[in-house]
């Protein structure tokens, strides 16, 4: 993997860059649609290309359980398996350790857990996480990390310190067992919760390990918006300037802009498709809840400035509302595609704002980026 910074903002830490991988490149800041089980829910790869997506995210934990990484490798790897010829990033399963804590046991060797698929017992170690991701063949793979609870208590304080130290030990084991370093870029993950002293220790230690890129983990798991932004601002500025910085599991438009201004390059979140399946459409002015009665006779499209199939095709808000009320599968598909295009258009305009240093123009064109309307993506893409 190669990362080139093409332009740096004069007034913020934002930058425009280019990442090249064995399966092509993508410009940053970049938003990755989430295809947890090798599929972005309800959206074909042709539609993903059409909305402007250039890199996708899949989850190694889920693919290990079903259909099995050995089968994916046998069928030509993840790119061939899902019919996507562009870059792919796979997450390792660290968040599942956190989110499925009632079903798991963590120690220094790894995590033992019960499968949500059939209840069988599995063990995930750093070596196993690398074996699975090497078999899947993604262009960017994530080290196995220990994601601690978000809120600070007398009990979680020691847990956070343990998670910080364990994440570092696991990172070294991931690097040592990674058998395809010339083809797959391994990213380390900075942890530390909302404790800035622990974040400092984590970013210094993780980024001291020479890797192609680094991620900010352990946010958007229940903290306040203010806490997330404080952590991101603090952490991003301490990460290597010449490597991609990836913020995991965030978020709404205002969160993305704030993180870009802090110096983050890559993002992922389930928000566009999850909202799309639930009749919530993103627009530059904010979300539309299409089930609301006020849209029963609404003749306008979701966003006149959008070129997605629904908007370009002149489909009214009233028609889309009808699809959801009639339980037609076309409704979730159309709104999911619209939301994905919304996010890709936003990233293009963010790149333009960086090049032109025109943040006020961005805020005028995208009022939703000004202030958060609700909590961030509190259910991370690394979810079950």
Residues annotated catalytic, as ranges: 91, 268
Cis before 67? omega within 30: yes
Residue 127 · residue 177 · CB < 8 Å: yes
- Placement of tokens 């619209």 in the chain: 338
| Alpha helices, DSSP H, located in 43-183 | 45-51, 60-65, 69-74, 78-82, 94-99, 126-136, 156-177
Q: Which residues contact 317 (CB under 8 A, 6 or more apart)?
A: 288, 290, 295, 298, 299, 300, 301, 302
Residue 36 dihedral angles phi and psi, to the nearest 5°:
-45, -50
User: To which H or E segment does residue 142 belong?
Assistant: strand 140-142
User: C-alpha distances in angstroms, 213 versus 166, 206, 243, 266, 359?
Assistant: 19, 10, 5, 11, 27
Distance, in Å, from the CA atom of 298 to the CA atom of 319, rounded to the nearest integer, reads 8
User: To which H or E segment does residue 265 belong?
Assistant: none
Strand bridging mode 104-107 / 110-114: antiparallel
Residue 216 · residue 145 · CB < 8 Å: no
Question: Nearest-5° angle of CA 210, CA 171, CA 231?
Answer: 85
Give the relative orientation of helices 156-177 and 126-136 as an angle to the nearest 10 degrees: 50
């Amino acid at each position: 993997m190669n990362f080139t910074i093409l332009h740096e903002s004069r007034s913020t830490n934002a930058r425009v860059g280019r990442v090249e991988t064995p399966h092509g490149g993508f410009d940053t800041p970049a938003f990755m649609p989430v295809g947890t089980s090798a599929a972005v829910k309800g959206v074909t790869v042709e539609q993903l290309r059409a909305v402007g997506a250039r890199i996708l995210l899949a989850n190694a934990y889920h693919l290990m359980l079903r259909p099995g990484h050995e089968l994916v490798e046998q069928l030509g790897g993840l790119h061939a398996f899902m019919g996507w010829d562009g870059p792919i990033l796979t997450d390792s399963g660290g968040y599942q350790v956190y989110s499925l804590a009632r079903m798991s046991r963590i120690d220094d060797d790894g995590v033992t857990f019960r499968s949500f698929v059939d209840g069988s017992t599995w063990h995930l170690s750093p070596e196993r996480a690398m074996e699975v991701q090497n078999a899947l063949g993604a262009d960017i793979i994530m080290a196995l990390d220990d994601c601690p609870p978000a809120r600070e208590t007398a009990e979680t304080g020691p847990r956070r310190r343990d998670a910080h130290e364990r994440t570092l030990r696991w990172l070294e084991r991931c690097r040592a067992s990674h058998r395809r370093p010339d083809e797959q870029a391994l990213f380390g993950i900075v942890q530390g919760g909302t404790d800035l002293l622990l974040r400092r220790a984590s970013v210094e230690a993780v980024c001291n390990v020479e890797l192609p890129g680094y991620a900010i983990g352990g946010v958007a798991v229940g903290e306040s918006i203010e806490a997330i932004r404080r952590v991101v601002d603090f952490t991003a500025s301490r990460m290597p300037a010449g490597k991609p910085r990836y913020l995991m599991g965030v978020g709404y438009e205002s969160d993305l802009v704030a993180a870009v201004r802090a110096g983050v390059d890559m993002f992922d979140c389930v928000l566009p498709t999850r909202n799309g399946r639930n009749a919530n459409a993103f627009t530059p002015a904010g979300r539309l809840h299409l089930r609301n009665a006020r849209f029963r006779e609404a003749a306008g499209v979701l966003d006149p400035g959008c070129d997605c199939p629904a908007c370009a095709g002149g489909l009214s808000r009233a028609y889309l509302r009808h699809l959801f009320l009639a339980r037609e599968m076309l409704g979730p598909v159309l709104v999911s595609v619209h939301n994905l295009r919304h996010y890709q258009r936003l990233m293009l305009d963010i790149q333009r704002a960086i090049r032109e240093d025109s943040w006020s123009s961005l805020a005028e064109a995208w009022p939703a980026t000004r202030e958060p309307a609700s909590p961030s993506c509190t259910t991370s893409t690394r979810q079950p």
